[in-house]
C-alpha cells in the first residue's frame, strides 16, 4: 500500500491513524475466521480469510483491504477485542 495514502487514512469512527496489520495479527484474525468466531460490527460472521488489513493505532479495530482498496466502512469494521 502506498505510504502516502496510508499516512492520511483515518478510522471513520474514531479518527485514529491506521497502519498495515502485522503478520501475527492477520494469522490470529484468519484463525478466528476459519473457526467461525469473528464478526464485523454489523454482526455478519466473516467467512473469507484476509490477506491484507489496516488496524487503528490503538490496535482495537481492523478494516479489511480488498484488491488493494481499504474498505473503511464502520459497519464492516472488526472489533479486535473479539480475539482476546
**Structural domain boundaries in the chain:** 3-83
Give the pLDDT of residue 81: 95
- State pLDDT tens for residues 22-32: 999 999 999 99
- State pLDDT tens for residues 20-72: 999 999 999 999 999 999 999 999 999 999 999 999 999 999 999 999 999 99
Angular region, 59: left φ>0, alpha ψ -120 to 50, beta rest: left
Kindly give the pairing relationship between strand 78-79 and strand 61-66.
antiparallel
2: pLDDT confidence band, cut at 50, 70 and 90?
A: confident
Give residues with Cβ within 8 angstroms of 27, minimum separation 6: none
3-32 core/surface letters (b: 16 or more CB in 10 A; e: else): eeeeeeeebeeeeebbeebeeebbebbbeb
Amino acid at each position: 500500500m502506498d505510504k502516502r495514502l496510508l499516512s492520511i487514512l483515518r478510522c471513520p469512527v474514531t479518527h485514529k491513524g491506521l497502519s498495515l496489520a502485522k503478520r501475527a495479527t492477520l494469522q490470529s484474525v484468519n484463525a478466528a475466521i476459519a473457526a467461525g468466531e469473528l464478526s464485523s460490527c454489523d454482526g455478519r460472521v466473516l467467512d473469507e480469510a484476509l490477506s491484507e488489513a489496516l488496524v487503528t493505532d490503538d490496535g482495537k479495530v481492523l478494516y479489511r483491504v480488498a484488491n488493494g482498496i481499504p474498505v473503511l466502512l464502520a459497519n464492516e469494521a472488526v472489533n479486535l477485542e473479539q480475539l482476546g
